Amino acid sequence: HQGSETREFSAEVGRLLDLVVHSLYSEREIFLRELVANSADATDRRRFEALTDGAQALPENAKISINPDKDARLLTISDDGSGMSRDELVANLGTIARSGTRAFGQKLENAKPEDRPSLIGQFGVGFYAAFMVADKVDVVSRRAGTDEAWRWSSDGKGAYTLEPATRDKAGTDITLHIKSDADEFLDPWRLQAIIRKWSDHIAWPVTIMREGKEEAANEGTALWRKSRNDVTEEQLEEFYRHITHNFDKPWDTLHWRAEGTMEFSALLFVPSSRPFEFGEQMRESKVRLHVRRMFITDDAEILPPWLRFVQGVVDTEDLPLNVSREMLQATPVLSRIRKAVTTKVVNELKTRAKDADTYATFWENFGPVLKEGMWDDPTYKTDVAALSRFRSSAVEGLTSLDDYLSRIKPEQDAIYYVTGDNADVLAASPQIEGFKARGVEVLLLCDPVDSFWPERLGTYEGKSLRNVAQGLNDLEKFGAPEASPAEKADMDTLLPALKTVLGDAVSDIRSTDRLVSSAMVLSAPEGGPDLQLRKLMQRSGQ
Ligand code: ADP
Ligand code: MG
């Protein structure tokens, strides 16, 4: 048994606490959302651990209770979750595991005030929000499956203490010593309103002590299980904000129920903006899997990685509640659900793609991710190709492959593309001069993934994808560059003028289709030695 001790926060935590407390003042109420979310996570975790490694089982009436005490100015949030060991208290509440404070600070500075609360969730710094409303926070926790409890305390100013404590069952109590200017958070009605606003859908019961009685605070409805007509737009948006930590409205909402050979409900969202650090943070789909309302895991990879921007819930009857990770890997139920959900999303995107303007917003955010599907998903690569949009040498804005094909020359059997870092640079690049001059359209590809997929995709609608570098020999097939009538007229005046000026110095001046943007080239008379040979001859004095 280790004894009491005082420890310093990691330097990062110190700076972060300052940032959170000072920049989010007007949004203080979200501290409750964060603490309740942590309790719900811990309860999910305990349920799951009990299934897989026999840790102490979750009590049947597991709940999250909120207990304000006006006289003592204390607000306590208690749960029956996994709890934390001494080491976990140090690791989870004394350091910052995931993201640096610097990135967080910069992001906060640039964010509009109404967007700031979501950053707390995105950066995994929710616990520290407690210090917005409390001068001191005590955490008493007992890890499920153990019999020792620990108290973590801090005033949020640089250090925290740890000491042995008692708790008669596993779980965690977070007690906030409410600041003198934060009375409102001791009022049960105010707390109730905050829960309704932010945490209504939490799957575990949330209760509030009011006049000595424990009252239910959340509805706990599994929104996705209701029929479409029974759910309001506001409820959907609130749920969206909860699971994505975004503050915008979804770009698209898919809500449906599959019946027949497979039974599941799904509620999925496509965000209307790209979540911060989206690319680096996640590589796999985090769509949540529920079985009969109960959260099971967000690791089931219900959607393929190239649809990982889609977020939401899939809830099925077709798996047992005590499904384990191993079983999830093996069950054909899950692969059928994956296929059905993926196809649904792809078809939805095809529908939405018909409106070019709104689709362009989506493409801007998630196009580079979607395109990965052409590289790593043989089943869907053609669908993804049809959904993809590109810059092109021939049109303003974005084009699809189908539109490209509608413009090709009769003798053209390939879709030409060039890769680089910047579409505007590519548009002016000598690499595609010859194509442009012959009226052959070239796609300008500049995402990193563009170096990979064209070869994998191979063909689209029977036309092969061909890099312009490999397509140079094709140029002949398209004949001479097309000169405009104005260009031809210019030539007709330019050539005689040049002849007059240069006189006997040249034997002839002609126009040529060998060049596209260079002005002129010297060439040897037909039948005589060529230019390179002439130079050599001159040098040797002949
Ligand atoms: P995040 O929830 O994004 O990880 P937080 O700052 O909200 O970040 O919480 C930090 C960590 O502290 C959590 O990941 C979890 O491990 C631990 N934690 C917080 N609250 C609880 C709780 N009530 N029960 C168990 N663990 C908790
Ligand atoms: Mg949290």
Given a contact cutoff of 8 angstroms between Cβ atoms, the answer to whether 178 and 132 are in contact is no
The atom of ligand 1 lying closest to the CA of 121 is: 3
For residues 242-257, average pLDDT: 89
Residues 6 or more apart whose Cβ sits within 8 Å of residue 402: 386, 461
Atom 15 in ligand 1: which residue has the minimum CA distance?
92
Mutation pick for ligand 1 pocket among 16, 41, 95 (CB with most ligand atoms within 8 Å): 41
Please give the distance, rounded to the nearest whole angstrom, from the Cα atom of residue 123 to the centre of ligand 2: 9
Label residue 523 by pLDDT band (50, 70, 90). Answer: low
- For the cut 80, the answer to whether the pLDDT of residue 231 exceeds it is yes
The region of weakest confidence among 30-39, 192-201, 418-427, 438-447 is 192-201
The region of weakest confidence among 36-40, 99-103, 476-480 is 99-103
Q: Which two tokens stand for residue 260?
A: 């027949």
Is residue 83 a known part of a binding site? no
Atom 12 in ligand 1: which residue has the minimum CA distance?
92
Q: Distance between CA 235 and CA 241 in Å, rounded?
A: 10
Q: Tokens 């996994």 — which residue?
A: 82
Cα–Cα distances (Å) from 451 to 291, 368, 442, 443, 445, in that order, read 40, 12, 15, 13, 8
Please give the distance, rounded to the nearest whole angstrom, from the Cα atom of residue 121 to the centre of ligand 2: 6
Identify which ligand lies nearest to the alpha carbon of 43.
1
pLDDT tens column, 438-456: 999 999 999 999 999 999 9
Please give the distance, rounded to the nearest whole angstrom, from the Cα atom of residue 277 to the centre of ligand 1: 20
Q: Tokens 């799904």 — which residue?
A: 266
**Pairwise pLDDT comparison (426 vs 24), residue with the higher score:** 426
Given a contact cutoff of 8 angstroms between Cβ atoms, the answer to whether 264 and 302 are in contact is no
Please give the distance, rounded to the nearest whole angstrom, from the Cα atom of residue 78 to the centre of ligand 2: 15
Is residue 38 a known part of a binding site? yes
Is residue 92 a known part of a binding site? yes
Neighbour count for residue 264 (Cβ, 10 Å): 25
Phi, psi dihedrals of residue 452, rounded to the nearest 5°? -110, -45
The protein residues having their C-beta less than 5 angstroms from ligand 2 (an ion) are 38, 126
Is residue 31 a known part of a binding site? no
Q: Which two tokens stand for residue 157?
A: 């100013």
Please give the distance, rounded to the nearest whole angstrom, from the Cα atom of residue 127 to the centre of ligand 2: 6
Please give the distance, rounded to the nearest whole angstrom, from the Cα atom of residue 125 to the centre of ligand 2: 6
Q: Distance between CA 322 and CA 52 in Å, rounded?
A: 9
Atom 20 in ligand 1: which residue has the minimum CA distance?
38
**Stated pTM of the model:** 0.63
Is residue 284 a known part of a binding site? no
Alpha helices by DSSP H, 353-393: 356-370, 372-376, 381-387
Q: Which two tokens stand for residue 478?
A: 């398209």
Helical pair 101-110 and 11-23, crossing angle rounded to 10 deg: 20
Q: Distance between CA 43 and CA 76 in Å, rounded?
A: 17
Is residue 333 a known part of a binding site? no
Q: Distance between CA 190 and CA 294 in Å, rounded?
A: 28
Q: Distance between CA 267 and CA 237 in Å, rounded?
A: 11
Please give the distance, rounded to the nearest whole angstrom, from the Cα atom of residue 120 to the centre of ligand 2: 8
Q: Distance between CA 174 and CA 169 in Å, rounded?
A: 15
Which residue ranges have their beta carbon within 6 Å of ligand 1?
34, 38-39, 42, 79, 81-84, 92-93, 124-127, 172
- Sequential DSSP letters for 134-167: EEEEEEEEE-TT---EEEEEE-SSSEEEEEEE--
Q: Distance between CA 441 and CA 391 in Å, rounded?
A: 11
Mutation pick for ligand 1 pocket among 19, 92, 119 (CB with most ligand atoms within 8 Å): 92
Is residue 248 a known part of a binding site? no
Q: Distance between CA 330 and CA 102 in Å, rounded?
A: 42
Please give the distance, rounded to the nearest whole angstrom, from the Cα atom of residue 84 to the centre of ligand 1: 9
Q: Distance between CA 63 and CA 56 in Å, rounded?
A: 16
- Number of residues that this document lists for the chain: 542
**Pairwise pLDDT comparison (188 vs 9), residue with the higher score:** 188
Helical pair 188-198 and 233-244, crossing angle rounded to 10 deg: 90
Please give the distance, rounded to the nearest whole angstrom, from the Cα atom of residue 155 to the centre of ligand 2: 19
Query: For position 532, what pLDDT does the model report?
Result: 46
Q: Distance between CA 138 and CA 132 in Å, rounded?
A: 14
Q: Are strands 414-419 and 463-467 parallel, antiparallel or unpaired?
A: parallel
Q: Distance between CA 284 and CA 346 in Å, rounded?
A: 17
Q: Distance between CA 542 and CA 535 in Å, rounded?
A: 10
Cross-sheet strand order for the sheet of 213-216 = 5-8, 159-165, 149-154, 134-142, 171-178, 74-79, 64-69, 206-210, 213-216
Phi-psi region at 260: left, alpha or beta (left = phi > 0; alpha = psi -120 to 50):
left
The atom of ligand 1 lying closest to the CA of 171 is: 24
Identify which ligand lies nearest to the alpha carbon of 124.
1
For residues 56-76, average pLDDT: 94
Complex ipTM over 0.95: yes
Identify which ligand lies nearest to the alpha carbon of 17.
1
Label residue 375 by pLDDT band (50, 70, 90). Answer: very high
The 10 Å CB-count burial string (b at 16+, else e) for 487-522 is: eeeeeeeeeeeeeeeeeeeeeeeeeeeeeeeeeeee
What is the distance of C-alpha 77 from the center of its chain? 31
Q: Distance between CA 53 and CA 536 in Å, rounded?
A: 84
Given a contact cutoff of 8 angstroms between Cβ atoms, the answer to whether 162 and 90 are in contact is yes
Identify which ligand lies nearest to the alpha carbon of 39.
1
Given a contact cutoff of 8 angstroms between Cβ atoms, the answer to whether 328 and 334 are in contact is yes
- For the cut 80, the answer to whether the pLDDT of residue 521 exceeds it is no
Phi-psi region at 245: left, alpha or beta (left = phi > 0; alpha = psi -120 to 50):
left
Q: Distance between CA 251 and CA 239 in Å, rounded?
A: 14
Is residue 126 a known part of a binding site? yes
N-terminal to C-terminal alpha carbon distance within the chain: 101
The atom of ligand 1 lying closest to the CA of 45 is: 25
Is residue 325 a known part of a binding site? yes
For residues 274-300, average pLDDT: 79
Residues paired with residue 442 on neighbouring β-strands, in sequence order: 416
Query: For position 530, what pLDDT does the model report?
Result: 46
Atom 18 in ligand 1: which residue has the minimum CA distance?
38
- For the cut 90, the answer to whether the pLDDT of residue 103 exceeds it is no
Label residue 531 by pLDDT band (50, 70, 90). Answer: very low
For residues 94-102, average pLDDT: 62
Given a contact cutoff of 8 angstroms between Cβ atoms, the answer to whether 293 and 225 are in contact is yes
Q: Are strands 391-392 and 134-142 parallel, antiparallel or unpaired?
A: unpaired
The atom of ligand 1 lying closest to the CA of 38 is: 20
Given a contact cutoff of 8 angstroms between Cβ atoms, the answer to whether 341 and 420 are in contact is no
